[in-house]
Structure 1
Amino acid sequence: MSGENQDATRFGRIDSDGTVYVKTSAGERVIGSWQAGSPEEGLAHFARRFDDLVTEVDLLAARLNAGNADPQQTSATIKKLRSSLDEAHAIGDLDSLAARLDELAARAETKAAEAKEAKTVARAQAVAHKEALALEAESLAENSTQWKATGDRLKAIADEWKTVHGADRKTDQALWRRFAAARDGFTRRRGAHFASLDSERKTIAVRKEELIAEAEKLSISTDWAETANRLKRLMVEWKDAGRVAPDAEQKLWKRFRAAQDKFFSARSEVFSARDAEQKENLTKKRELLTTAEAIDVDADPRAAQQQFRVIQGQWEEIGHVPRDAAGGLMRRMRTVDEKIRSALDVAWRRTPIAENPLLQQMRDQVAEAEERLERAKNDGDAGRIRKAEAALTSKRQVLELAEKAQ
């Protein structure tokens, strides 16, 4: 007897008149009649029916485990299959199959409860999401004056709205009506705003024509510092004035920008030439410094002083150098000057510089005045140059009188 028939014999039998029985924990139950062949063939037939039931249960378990099926529908199918086992025309371990179905039914009910809870949470999240979108739309519609950005955002909200699913129909419709009302309100307010722009743009155009006229007048100025500052202020005023229609705005801007470019191009050319001149002056002053630093002070301090004064005169005639180099050059010149003065003091048996703080203070003030003059020349500020020259002359005169009194 095959293994299949042996298993069938454990759970069923066919008597001599062909009546078929299945054995369960509740006892034997008639499930049919077999007249088509031998009892072994009959048992195998009803065993295959049981295998079909097992296969169906396996499929339900696989779907439940994979989470692909609706838990509620799966639960209903399990219950239906479980109730059918009491009248199943099959031979096999129906008790074990029933226990397995009971376990699957419990799992399906748990998953159904979880799915219901998840659906409830998803519904609440969807409602909250759409509530937030409606609130944002209402706030934008009431307060925003960023017309393009707000219009784009309202379009994005409408697109986002379509991707949010799960809210109940009644709530969804109520929230959509709020959003639609906010969007319509914004559209009306934006329309009213643009309707009032024509008169405002005329005023703006007049103001920008005034700014253009001033910029064109300043474009030929050679007062580089003051004009540059004024043109920068004009740029701020231009931005503060507002905008006209795009095409007109572009034309006005080109005229305004052309006037500014004309001035700054001319200034750049002048500054480039000045930079080249300053670099040449730097080379010359470095050469003079080399000569000054090579003076033999100890041999004849007075002759050294005369040589140094000649160099100072040549120094003044050369002109200014780049600002970042001016300080270093002046410090080196002061070092030579102090070296000569120290030598003269020793030669004349005068009080050393360290013992004459007032005289040293005067010399420091002269040096500072020289640096201020050099910076003023580098900046090209005529007013500052005049003040610096007057201050330097005055301090040099005071120093000269003080030195003679020693």
Structure 2
Amino acid sequence: MNSTAGPADFGRVDPDGTVYVRTADGERSVGQIPDVDPAEALAFYVRRYEALEVEVNLLAARVRSGALSPEEARNSVKAVRTAVTDANAVGDLAALLARLEDLSPVLDEQAELRKAERAKAQEAARAAKEQMVAEAETLAQGTDWRGGVNRFRALLDEWKALPRLDRASDDALWHRFSAARTTYTRRRKAQFAEQAARRDEARQLKEGIIAEARALATSTDWGPTTGAFRDLMARWKAAGPAPREVDDALWAEFRGIQDDFFNARQSVLSEQDAEYKANLEAKEALLAQAEASIVPVSDLAEAKAAFRTFLEKFNALGRVPREQIRSLDNRVRALETAVRTAEEEEWRRTDPEARARAEDTVAMLETEIAKLTQKVAKAEARGDEAAASKARDSINTYQVWLDQARETLADFHR
């Protein structure tokens, strides 16, 4: 309503209390308030107009700020236009309708902008999916059987997070991605099947070597038989690993046969006992010193260096009585196992793949929280408290997961 115009410029009151509003189409009755002062009756309907004016101003501000989507804004404008057109109020209703009409070009511009943004997002999603397809097809032809599985899983999660393209393009890209994953899976299974076949072949070879070793075990022809056992050991190593569940048992059997032979040989070569005994005492002392200084492993680099130094000195001391070899070997192996276990634990703690997965998890949860925060803001803006509350509950849940993921990631930096 014009700030210099009074209520009488847009309405009047009959003696019976009927109030009229003046419009471009003529006068229209907006109500009746009998037995009151005409100015008071007119003021009542002017206040209704002022309430409409506030509503129009607020809607115009929200539309121009972009707080509403073009579709939501058009619906709101339509509803308010109807309210103004049929309003039982006194004021410059035509001016309010004109203000609403002025919003049409703004809405057209915003709709075009939204359309351009959606097109841009579609192109970004298309580029991302094409890049993922290219990477998947490269992985499908590779031999990274461990890392490839994890990467395909990550790519699939990224794919699901992207918006869909037009159906034909999206289906075509998905077909290529799925085909690459299938190819990789088949090649990986074939690789493991081939590996299993090699291990079974190794088992058969080692069983044959054990049979040959049994035939040699009772020989007293020490020199040639010792050489034959060395050949058997070389063939054993060349055979490769057997299936994990039988490899240790086969080795224990083969090693036991060798021990039987060399123990018998040792009893015959008793003249070497004095030298062997001295070597034994020196090795036991060296081993005891190494066990005390290396285990438990506190500094991996120092432990590895100390073990290498120990092993050089240990091996340089020469032979010991045959019946003591296994005991010493077990202690050396235990020492080596302690160092190797510490090294494996250090690797697991600093595994870059596990760290990358932890970082990806933190990033994904942070992204989800950011999206939910935007949902809260939008819901509050449109007055949808139920939707805002639901989104805030989801944020709380994701925050708990994020805190846990950050704790996991922090372990890699300790």
Normalising by the residue count of structure 1, what TM-score does the alignment of the two structures yield?
0.46
Q: Which has the larger radius of gyration?
A: 1
Normalising by the residue count of structure 2, what TM-score does the alignment of the two structures yield?
0.46
